[in-house]
Amino acid sequence: MVRNPRKPLTLHQKLLKIKRAGLTHQRPPDSFDPLQQDLPTLQERVDTILELYNRDHKKPAGMIYFIMYDIQNDRVRTHIAKYLKKSGCVRVQKSIFLASTERDKFNEIYRTIKEVQEFYENNDSIFFVPVSVDHLRSMKIVGQSIDYDLVLGNTNTLFF
């Protein structure tokens, strides 16, 4: 007897199952976040930003954008994060992704996330923020011990 392998559920199907089961559990604000262990190292995040920075962005349909969210429900947040990663977005912080895609892919991700948002009653917020290469180059970061100005090439002179 040959077993038919299960088709993987789409993001919509997973969230519909969660909705049917009831979205009642909310994580206490200071509890462990399982997504934190999935966060790339700081150097990997810097390398990703540099790769986007150095990529040729002359294609008129291409764009760079941040996706930032504040999602209360653990399960929904996990599914959204996994969906964004599968869609080619790169996590740069726990709730911030950076992507460089064609405009059609941007619209597809936006529509999918918007439909998910309508699945359940919530006070969540999700931002899609397009940025230009110039804006990415002028980005300033506070924190961590990496000189992003030096990494992104925003300085003209180096003294040794």
pLDDT digit string (tens) for 105-153? 999 999 999 988 888 888 899 999 998 878 877 777 776 644 444 434 4
For the cut 60, the answer to whether the pLDDT of residue 74 exceeds it is yes
Quickly state the pLDDT bin for 75 (edges 50, 70, 90).
confident
For the cut 50, the answer to whether the pLDDT of residue 81 exceeds it is yes
Distances 36 to 5, 26, 31, 92 between C-alpha atoms, Å: 31, 17, 11, 11
**Global model pTM greater than 0.75:** no
Listed in sequence order, the residues at least 6 apart from 39 whose beta carbon sits closer than 8 Å to its beta carbon are 91, 93, 94
38-137: CATH, from 3.90.1150.10, 2.40.30.20, 3.40.47.10, 3.30.70.240: 3.30.70.240
CA trace torsion 86, 98, 121, 11 (10° rounding): -10
Structure tokens at 50: 């540099």
